[in-house]
Structure 1
Amino acid sequence: MRIKILFVLSLILLGCSNKKEEQPKEFSYPIIELVSQPNSSIAGNPITLSFKTDGTIKDLKLQVKNAYGNVILETEKASNELITFNIPKNFTRIAGPCRWKLLLNGHTLRNGKFDITTNTLKATYVESYFGPRSVTAGYNDYSMLTISPTDAYDNPLDNGTEVTVKYQFLENINELKITTESFFAFYNVRSTLQSGRILVSSECNGTNSKELATIIYPSNATNFDITASSAHNFADGNQIITFKSDIIKDEFGNMVTNGTLVTFVIKNENDSYLYTIGTTVNGIAEAKTLHPDKATNWKIQAFVTGAAESNTTEFTFNAAIKDYPVHFSKGNRNIDIGPFESFMKQLIPDGLFLQLDIYDTDGIFITSKKTTTKNGACNIFLGEHFLPEGNYQLKLIAAGITKEFTKNIHGDTIK
């Protein structure tokens, strides 16, 4: 049995070894000759590729690829010997290399490349940008003018294309020539020592750009002087005192920009500070504040934050109120203060601040009451609910004048 099995297997192997292997069919390429292909073409001009064959060939296609994209073209014209392909307009308008392949059933028969150059004859367009649109006076700041000239189909012009730059400031007009590199040209327009406006424009192949501008603002302010003035120097808490600077300028003599913030800081003899602010108009800053309500001496200095400071000027206020009467009634619970008379014996304006501090007989502070004058006087009432009966030390403070009393507060005010 074993011998029979071996005999059958031998016959099977012998039959297999005598079978011939099938050879794959080789693809037969037709003979195709390129008849017309431009080495280079101007953007926008029509482009045609023609091929000559030794017979009629169906299903030929042309693959075209450039910066615009990729497309497969069918034959536009075919005869027994000549096959023609027309490149689409969208592809002929893009400057740069354009590659093609002639295909038959997925096989590449021929391939090649041609260049499309920019079309400077038809038209030139100039894109220009300028910025920043504001700089400061001096030697270090500048604005950059960037020019990108293109042809009618938005192709950047070739490197080395000449561009004329013009810029004007005051009475001076300057002109210079630069060339494009990597599709654009640029020029740095330096700021000047004077504030003002610089106008720029550019021109390429007879085409002018639009007008652009940058504003030269003054540089940082330098130190300046201030003065203080008022209708009188009495501390009436009513009159207005005015602080005014001279014309504030930068280091190049330019008047600082309108709206520059100036802070006026006031210091009194108690080292207390208050401030008021003003903004410049035509280089001059002005600020106002009320007179104090008591005699004092002010020292005033102004600052342009982070840039400049002024001199220190002084203004002395004399006391407008020399004294005021105080009258107690109703068990010393009712206190009438005034009338307050100013430097011409006139009643003071409403709103003078008055404070009453109350202490016990040991000088320990208890409470205080505050009020303001009306019609030249004011009143304070210490009701039963506010202050019990007893002996107290009372301290009145108004217009910088302090008056002290020791009083026995008594009487029931609630009936």
Structure 2
Amino acid sequence: MRIKILIILSLILLGCSSKKEEQPKQFIYPKIELVANVNNSVAGDAVAVSFKTDTSIKDLKLQVKNAYGNVVLSPEHSENELMVFKIPKNFTRIAGPCRWKLILKGHTLRYGKFDIATNAYKATYVESYFGPRSVTAGYNDYSMLTISPTDAYDNPLDNGTEVTVKHQFQENIDELKITTESFFAFYNVRSTLQSGRILVSSECNGTNSKELATIVYPSNATDFSISSSSAHNFADGNQIITFTSDIIRDEFGNTVTNGTLVTFIIKNENDSYLYTIGTTINGIAEAKTLHPDKASKWEIQAFVTGAAESNTTEFAFKPAIKDYPVHFSKGNRNIDIGPFESFMKQLIPDGLLLQLDIYDADGVFVASKKTTTKNGVCSIFLGEHYLAEGDYILKLNAAGITKEFTKNIHGDTIK
């Protein structure tokens, strides 16, 4: 049985090998003639590619490709073996090379190319950009004006297209001509020495752009002067002292921008510092702070950070309070201080700081208490829970005046 099967398979293989291999059919190219060869066109113009054949041919297609994309077209009509392919409008409006191939059943019969030129005669549009929109006065800063002229179908105009640029500052209007390169033109508008606004515009083929502007801000501030003033020079901790600058300008004489921050640094006789700030309005900065609550001598200097500094001015404060009474009661645990009288014998405003430092009989620091005045007086109570009975040294300090007492603290305040 096995031998019979082998014989049958051998016969089958011999029969297959004897068959002749089938040859693929050879494609016969039909005779096709390009009737009208389009070499150049203008964007927006109608374009058609026509072919003449000896016989009617079905399934003939035209493949068109340009920057817009790729499309396969069928003939619009066929009369007397004349086949006309109309290029779609969205392809004929794009400037640049447009390539085509005539295709039949996957085979390319003919191919070609035509160029579409920009249509500047129909209309020109001007796109312009300007920035940065703010520069500083001087010789180094500038804003760039970029112009991109296009035709009615948004195709960039050809290289070498002439563009007129105008820019205005104060009474001066300047005009110059530049040309496009790589589809756009640009011009650097230099900053001026004076602050203000620069206006620019452009024109191409009779079409004007919109107006654009950049603001020239003053450059960095230069050194300036300051002064100080107040209603009086008593150290009452209540009156306000005002620091004022002169008009702050840059190196070209421009008044610095409104809102420029000016820091006023104050140094007292103990080399302690405090500061207050102000911002410029019309170039003048003003800052305020309270008088100290004790006699002091201030040195004031102002700074525009990283740019300029002022002169140093002085202001001396006279003591407003020359003395104050102190009264002890309730086993010296209750201390009443005041009334505090100012330079016209008036009661001082509320809020004057008073500090009590407590030391034991050997001068070792024990504790400290602080309070503020109200209605010209203040009081401190040293309860049993706070301070045990014994001898203590009490030092009171207010308005720069220090008073020292040695007292025996006694009496039970816990009931």
TM range (shorter): over 0.9
Q: Which amino acid aligns with 2:326?
A: V
Q: What does residue range 248-263 of structure 1 map to in structure 2 within 5 Å?
A: 248-263=248-263
| CA distance in 2: counterparts of 1:411 and 1:23, whole angstroms | 132
1:322 aligns with 2:346: no
| CA distance in 2: counterparts of 1:17 and 1:253, whole angstroms | 105
SS at match of 1:158: coil
Q: Which amino acid aligns with 2:158?
A: D
Q: State the match for 2:119 in structure 1.
A: 119
From the superposition, tell whether residues 357 and 12 of structure 1 become closer, same or farther in structure 2 (CA, over 3 Å): closer
Pairwise CA distance, 1:250: 0.4
1:206 aligns with 2:214: no
Q: What does residue range 285-304 of structure 1 map to in structure 2 within 5 Å?
A: 285-304=285-304
From the superposition, tell whether residues 20 and 327 of structure 1 become closer, same or farther in structure 2 (CA, over 3 Å): closer
SS at match of 1:112: strand
SS at match of 1:91: helix
Q: State the match for 1:156 in structure 2.
A: 156
| CA distance in 2: counterparts of 1:17 and 1:73, whole angstroms | 46
Q: What does residue range 187-226 of structure 1 map to in structure 2 within 5 Å?
A: 187-226=187-226
| CA distance in 1: counterparts of 2:398 and 2:410, whole angstroms | 25
Pairwise CA distance, 1:23: 4.0
Pairwise CA distance, 1:20: 5.7
Q: Which amino acid aligns with 1:398?
A: A
Q: State the match for 1:168 in structure 2.
A: 168
Q: State the match for 1:341 in structure 2.
A: 341
What TM-score does the superposition give when structure 1 sets the normalisation length? 0.95
SS at match of 1:383: coil
Pairwise CA distance, 1:13: 11
Q: Unpaired runs of 5+ in structure 2?
A: 1-10
From the superposition, tell whether residues 60 and 334 of structure 1 become closer, same or farther in structure 2 (CA, over 3 Å): same
Pairwise CA distance, 1:19: 6.6
Q: Which amino acid aligns with 2:388?
A: P
From the superposition, tell whether residues 21 and 376 of structure 1 become closer, same or farther in structure 2 (CA, over 3 Å): closer
From the superposition, tell whether residues 367 and 27 of structure 1 become closer, same or farther in structure 2 (CA, over 3 Å): same
Computed over aligned residues only, the root mean square deviation of the Cα atoms, in angstroms, reads 1.8
Q: Which amino acid aligns with 1:148?
A: S
Q: State the match for 1:6 in structure 2.
A: none
User: In 2, are the aligned partners of 1:37 and 1:48 still within 8 Å (CA)?
Assistant: no
The more displaced of 71-80 and 104-113 is 71-80
Q: State the match for 2:372 in structure 1.
A: 372
Percent identity over paired residues: 85
Q: Which amino acid aligns with 2:305?
A: T
| CA distance in 2: counterparts of 1:351 and 1:150, whole angstroms | 74
Q: State the match for 2:7 in structure 1.
A: none
Q: State the match for 1:403 in structure 2.
A: 403
Q: State the match for 1:305 in structure 2.
A: 305
| CA distance in 2: counterparts of 1:59 and 1:241, whole angstroms | 97
| CA distance in 2: counterparts of 1:297 and 1:23, whole angstroms | 115
From the superposition, tell whether residues 317 and 13 of structure 1 become closer, same or farther in structure 2 (CA, over 3 Å): closer
| CA distance in 1: counterparts of 2:306 and 2:41, whole angstroms | 62
| CA distance in 2: counterparts of 1:414 and 1:18, whole angstroms | 132
SS at match of 2:90: helix
Q: State the match for 1:381 in structure 2.
A: 381
| CA distance in 2: counterparts of 1:209 and 1:371, whole angstroms | 72
Q: State the match for 1:61 in structure 2.
A: 61
| CA distance in 1: counterparts of 2:404 and 2:19, whole angstroms | 138
User: In 2, are the aligned partners of 1:354 and 1:398 still within 8 Å (CA)?
Assistant: yes
Pairwise CA distance, 1:383: 1.2
SS at match of 2:297: strand
| CA distance in 1: counterparts of 2:361 and 2:355, whole angstroms | 19
Write the deviation string for residues 386-408 of structure 1: whole angstroms up to 9, x where unpaired.
11110000000000000000000
Q: State the match for 1:353 in structure 2.
A: 353
User: In 2, are the aligned partners of 1:132 and 1:214 still within 8 Å (CA)?
Assistant: yes
From the superposition, tell whether residues 267 and 29 of structure 1 become closer, same or farther in structure 2 (CA, over 3 Å): same
Pairwise CA distance, 1:80: 3.1
User: In 2, are the aligned partners of 1:396 and 1:402 still within 8 Å (CA)?
Assistant: yes
User: In 2, are the aligned partners of 1:394 and 1:405 still within 8 Å (CA)?
Assistant: yes
Pairwise CA distance, 1:25: 2.5
Runs of 4+ in structure 1 displaced over 6 angstroms?
11-19
SS at match of 1:178: strand
| CA distance in 2: counterparts of 1:16 and 1:87, whole angstroms | 53
From the superposition, tell whether residues 14 and 385 of structure 1 become closer, same or farther in structure 2 (CA, over 3 Å): closer
Q: Which amino acid aligns with 1:40?
A: N
Q: State the match for 2:236 in structure 1.
A: 236
What TM-score does the superposition give when structure 2 sets the normalisation length? 0.95
| CA distance in 2: counterparts of 1:15 and 1:387, whole angstroms | 128
Write the deviation string for residues 11-61 of structure 1: whole angstroms up to 9, x where unpaired.
999999987655433211111110113211100110010111111111111
| CA distance in 2: counterparts of 1:67 and 1:147, whole angstroms | 23
Q: Which amino acid aligns with 1:268?
A: N
Q: State the match for 1:90 in structure 2.
A: 90
Q: State the match for 1:45 in structure 2.
A: 45
From the superposition, tell whether residues 340 and 108 of structure 1 become closer, same or farther in structure 2 (CA, over 3 Å): same
Q: How many residues matched?
A: 408
| CA distance in 1: counterparts of 2:239 and 2:21, whole angstroms | 121
Q: Unpaired runs of 5+ in structure 1?
A: 1-10
From the superposition, tell whether residues 328 and 165 of structure 1 become closer, same or farther in structure 2 (CA, over 3 Å): same
| CA distance in 1: counterparts of 2:30 and 2:122, whole angstroms | 42
Q: Which amino acid aligns with 2:157?
A: L
| CA distance in 1: counterparts of 2:248 and 2:133, whole angstroms | 24
Pairwise CA distance, 1:81: 2.4
The more displaced of 56-65 and 21-30 is 21-30
Pairwise CA distance, 1:414: 2.8
